[in-house]
Structure 1
Amino acid sequence: MKKLLMAMAAGTLTLGLAACGETAEPTEGTPEDKQSDLTAEEVYEKALTASQEMKSTEVALEMDQKISIPSQEVEMNTNTNLDMEMTLDPMALHQKGTMAMSAAGGEEMSMEIEAYMTEDGTMYLLDPQAGQWMKMTGAIPELDQLTQNQPDPSEQLEQLQEYAKDMKFEQNENEYILKLTADGEKFNDLIKQTLQEQLPPEALEQMGEEEQNALENMSINELEYEMYVDKETFNMTAMNMVMAMTMEEQGEELNIDMDSKTTYSNINGIEKIEIPQEIIDSAVELPQQ
């Protein structure tokens, strides 16, 4: 998972390196004595080093997602808010939050989310309706293989540069800001190739014909990133993403619009994720899939 986060952060950074030799444009109100002469390429290298040294972090995620099927006049909106603590090597986490869902013309439904994942991949999930904790052993059998298959971020640089259509490299008093719009049409092939390379072989084999066709017929229409990097530590402090994509399945067109905002804090400040003993004692074990 550490490799996964590194690849995510570094991959986003490399997308913005079409202007790698430029220094950051100061935003309005940035004091002159706080302005940096580092180039995007230099910030990338330092941020990559910082990501390799990351051992733990707290994450706050807010995501709005809309799924629509135009031919059926179906629309589903989902708002997710999650706070997460995680250690990266070995991987363990605790997440807690809410998910609200509503359909066009229907009532909104909301549910509480809470889960733990231990270093060996065991999951503890709260059933909010029953107030019961459930335990799933070996719930993520492909996790280790998935993280091992992450690409070397340095190898992505040349591959990803051509997909940046519009890139801005800015700075404020405390952060570097990378903003880019990726060319959706050209980016489609890269996304499909990356998914096929990074998904474990078992996961690909288990995908049905419909799922494989949906992946093949996926089209990314819009992709925008904003990434914030701390000027002193070069840790990523925030990443915002807007994405619009279309999938076709059984002749039906499915539109997915996503707007996510993620912030990172307390980096390397978490020693260990502790699961309360009462949760361990009361959890009902579910059969393995």
Structure 2
Amino acid sequence: MKHKSWMIISLLFIMLVSAACSSAEGEKAKEVFAKSSEASKSLDSLAMSINMTQNISLQSPKGTDTTGSMPMNMPIKTTIDSKMQMDPIAFHQTIEIFGQTVEQYYSDRGMYMSQPGKDGWFKAPKEIVEQLNQVSAAQQTPAKQLETLQEYVDEFNLEEKEDSYILSFSSKGEDVQKLIKKTMTESMPKELLPEDLLKGLTVEKASYTLTINKDTYYPEAIESAMDFTMEMDGEKASISQEMSGTYSKFNEVGEITIPQEVIDHAKEMPGLSSLPQ
């Protein structure tokens, strides 16, 4: 299996699924959902913090466990701290995984990043930037994510707290399978989402909880849990994933620019002409 394929799936779950009965409750849920979607469209900037834990079990075609090049006997923990500007799209984020840290800048001037174990900054090839432009960061804003899930709002339950609304969703089998595949297909260009990857994806169950502020209707927090399997290149991976995230600094981030020093001293990134499949 191309091990980075499941990483693409995992990141998509982080980026795409950050939204969110008796008939009365259902109507109220629709109202909260619609107001949150509308409020999110007016955002100029925000900060996002994500914590994710994955447990992965790989099997070879003969059914024996294999670790490949990745540690499979311990949880894989990932954290992402990001600041995002909406128009024009730009972000600055730090990703920690496997005990290593990667810092990234992205804007209309390109994408620049640090690399573990290497000094200085590296500029992503033009081909990668073009692919990232297709997966526009606008697709990952709260407004777009809420819009993507709007047709599923009837399946969300609503709980009202003193300062917030909590929308929750839980599903198994074919329903959640359709939701995930539809969301991925609509949000990713075909060259980054090979057909055999989608065919080999089976989502067993998923649950999401979205907290929305009562005053601003901005999303404040999300929690999700998901079990899914991937089959590709004769190998099968079973993945159990838990994720929690918070949104903050609404319209407070300001303009995000790539430091001129980073641009001036960045080296070309060798040996990579496209995003991993």
Give the TM interval when normalised to the shorter protein.
0.7 to 0.9
CA distance in 1, matches of 2:196, 2:251: 41
CA distance in 1, matches of 2:92, 2:33: 29
Q: How does 1:168-179 map to 2 (within 5 A)?
A: 168-179=157-168
CA distance in 1, matches of 2:25, 2:78: 36
Q: Which residue of 2 is the match for residue 252 of structure 1? A: 235
Q: Which residue of 1 is the match for residue 120 of structure 2? A: 132
Q: How does 1:121-270 map to 2 (within 5 A)?
A: 122-138=110-126, 139-147=128-136, 157-158=150-151, 160=152, 164=155, 167-203=156-192, 207=194, 212-270=195-253
CA deviations over 1:58-100 (Å, ceiling 9, x no partner): 1111111122114332425311122111101211111124212
> What amino acid is the match of 2:130?
P
CA distance in 1, matches of 2:212, 2:120: 40
User: Max radius of gyration: which structure?
Assistant: 1
The alignment's C-alpha RMSD in Å is 3.0
> Any conservation in 2 of the 1:20–1:40 contact (CA below 8 Å)?
no
2:103 to 105, 114, 139: 114
> TM-score scaled to structure 1, two decimals?
0.74
Deviates more, 1:133-142 or 1:42-51: 133-142
For residue 202 of structure 1, report the CA deviation from its aligned partner.
4.2
CA distance in 2, matches of 1:233, 1:185: 35
Q: Which residue of 1 is the match for residue 64 of structure 2? A: 72
> Any conservation in 1 of the 2:83–2:93 contact (CA below 8 Å)?
yes
CA distance in 2, matches of 1:61, 1:152: 16
CA deviations over 1:166-194 (Å, ceiling 9, x no partner): x4311222111111202332221343244
> TM-score scaled to structure 2, two decimals?
0.77
For residue 142 of structure 1, report the CA deviation from its aligned partner.
3.2
Structure 2 vs 1, CA of residues 63 and 195 (structure 1 numbering), >3 Å: closer, same or farther? same
Q: Which residue of 2 is the match for residue 275 of structure 1? A: 258
1:21 to 1, 20, 24: 24
2:83 to 82, 85, 91: 85
For residue 19 of structure 1, report the CA deviation from its aligned partner.
5.3
> Any conservation in 2 of the 1:184–1:220 contact (CA below 8 Å)?
yes
Percent of residue pairs identical: 30
Unaligned runs of 5+ in 2: 1-11, 67-71
CA distance in 2, matches of 1:184, 1:53: 35
CA deviations over 1:267-288 (Å, ceiling 9, x no partner): 1112211333332222112367
CA deviations over 1:80-127 (Å, ceiling 9, x no partner): 122111101211111124212xxxxxxxxx11121111234x111112
CA distance in 2, matches of 1:195, 1:252: 22
CA distance in 1, matches of 2:263, 2:172: 47
Unaligned runs of 5+ in 1: 24-37, 101-109
For residue 240 of structure 1, report the CA deviation from its aligned partner.
1.0
Q: Secondary structure at the match of 1:98?
A: strand
Q: Secondary structure at the match of 1:40?
A: helix
Q: How many residues align?
A: 245
CA distance in 2, matches of 1:170, 1:140: 41
CA distance in 2, matches of 1:179, 1:42: 15
Deviates more, 1:193-202 or 1:242-251: 193-202
